[in-house]
Structure 1
């Protein structure tokens, strides 16, 4: 089974869910009223949920408590939006459990999570999800995929893992068919995932890939399993002063703090629409052509140069991150040689 196609955002319209999930549910065409107050959802009924088409929500008793179960007979993942909830910054908490129903031997150890800053058609969102089956395998590579982050559109697990290994997934001690306490903290362009009541995050994402700074909260399920949710809380916080549409054009002083050492240089950039061109000078070479893309202030830039060592060798550097006013930051890598974080300041 092709896992990647399930992790792409669905384009399904939303349907209202009644307590009985009757066939007469109506399509939701307008956003629900929003609130900035803290809210708790016991999920003992379905009145607070709007579920994407093809998904099914039921109130059940599971592992000693009342909960909502999400399932689907389609090949699309499921989003159950919390009515009236919009969040930019704040905290989301929930008890989550997962029962895998795929046949033995199928390489699909379960997926369950929470989407945030999500659009009501599930076309745009940030998402943390758990894979409890991976946590118990003897394959260390799979264990390292126990908790993961993706964003839609454009940043599925395959792209993030291949382009930025180890950064958007990690190990966590999880177990299928057991309640797991999950907490997500969102502040500006950073989000942290906590599991099992730990005071330390299992996964930190600096530079969220999602395009929207505010949106809904949705419980997220996946084909071939039963996803359970209980005791959900959403606690909005004062939003950080962050805006999109940061301009890339200008001269930037760049610092790269990597696992191999620290490097500096400057970039003179010019943007035309979504295309960025420019010149890099500094560590790795002088007058090196830069090319890349811009999307609402998020940039991905690449340039070639020479790796500074006793035996100089060709290299390719990639930067990805957000521009906020006259500052920018994100992740940077020199393919096969160094990885770390970059910061930049626009010269005036």
Structure 2
């Protein structure tokens, strides 16, 4: 019996991330642009649906660019590889946006960018397409959430090569605060929405690899007006990676 109990306890300990592997949570209310670096976006404090946060839109120059330029606001001095990222986000198509606009809004992680020129960027991102959540078209609903890895693994490439693997359905509304939680451990990442215990989207082959590090950023897509608030980042050490 003693050996059995010891074995059970050993297994239980192995199933949890040790406290020593988890750093203290870092909180960013996002009520000002302090501590943010901007790339192709305009950020300004705003009260939305009675809550203070940041309103983020594309710069006029980025809005005119062809393709999908990276549009980011990243936290200065925050180095992230594994851990948990939580935030409240809201997105909707901007006035005059193209018919393909969906209110793209999300969180990028492991961001690396040329800080001298703010030029070439690489990052992973989970994002939402809020107008797809309740669309009267099942295919659009199935594309309500998305994972991509910029610049090589775009949504269009992933959808063409591995249909439905990096997208999923979740109930969403445009212009509504939505709680999201991202868990990243090595090559595995999970997106949770609305405080649900089960993930809305599972990725077991994060394209940046198991060892990549970088910044955490607020992310928007083309033709979007987005709001962000209450960002919480809880880093974990490399020993916390999923086995």
Residue of structure 2 aligned with 1:116, choices 88, 109, 118: 109
Is residue 101–residue 224 contact of structure 2 (8 Å, CA) maintained in 1?
A: no
C-alpha displacement of 1:101: 1.7
TM-score by length of 1: 0.57
Is residue 27–residue 232 contact of structure 2 (8 Å, CA) maintained in 1?
A: yes
- Which residue of structure 2 lines up, in the alignment, with residue 239 of structure 1? 238
Residue of structure 2 aligned with 1:70, choices 56, 75, 83: 56
C-alpha displacement of 1:79: 0.5
Q: Using the alignment, how far apart are the partners of 2:108 and 2:216 within structure 1? A: 6
1:60 aligns with 2:58: no
C-alpha displacement of 1:37: 4.3
Unaligned runs of 5+ in 2: 1-22, 64-68, 115-119
C-alpha displacement of 1:102: 4.0
Unaligned runs of 5+ in 1: 1-35, 243-348
How many residues are treated as equivalent by the alignment? 207
- Which residue of structure 2 lines up, in the alignment, with residue 95 of structure 1? 88
Q: Using the alignment, how far apart are the partners of 1:161 and 1:238 within structure 2? A: 32
1:47 aligns with 2:39: no
Q: Using the alignment, how far apart are the partners of 1:154 and 1:105 within structure 2? A: 24
TM-score by length of 2: 0.80
C-alpha displacement of 1:213: 1.4
- Which residue of structure 2 lines up, in the alignment, with residue 172 of structure 1? 170
Specify whether residues 171 and 197 from structure 1 end up closer, same or farther in structure 2 by C-alpha distance, changes over 3 A only.
same
Rg larger for = 1
Is residue 36–residue 76 contact of structure 2 (8 Å, CA) maintained in 1?
A: yes
- Which residue of structure 1 lines up, in the alignment, with residue 146 of structure 2? 148
Q: Using the alignment, how far apart are the partners of 2:57 and 2:98 within structure 1? A: 21
- Which residue of structure 1 lines up, in the alignment, with residue 225 of structure 2? 226
What are the superposed Cα offsets for residues 113-156 of structure 1, whole Å, 9 maximum, x if unpaired? 00001103462111100001011111111111100000023110
C-alpha displacement of 1:105: 7.4
Q: Using the alignment, how far apart are the partners of 1:77 and 1:66 within structure 2? A: 25
- Which residue of structure 2 lines up, in the alignment, with residue 79 of structure 1? 72
Q: Secondary structure at the match of 1:124?
A: strand
Q: Using the alignment, how far apart are the partners of 1:227 and 1:98 within structure 2? A: 4
Q: Going by fraction, where is strand more abundant, 1 or 2?
A: 1
Is residue 193–residue 202 contact of structure 1 (8 Å, CA) maintained in 2?
A: yes
User: What does 1:172-321 correspond to in 2, within 5 Å?
Assistant: 172-211=170-209, 213-240=212-239
Q: Which contiguous aligned blocks of 4+ residues in structure 1 show a shift greater than 4 angstroms?
A: none
Q: Using the alignment, how far apart are the partners of 2:240 and 2:83 within structure 1? A: 14
1:157 aligns with 2:155: yes
**Higher normalized contact order (CA 8 Å, seq sep 6+, divided by chain length):** 2
Specify whether residues 79 and 61 from structure 1 end up closer, same or farther in structure 2 by C-alpha distance, changes over 3 A only.
same
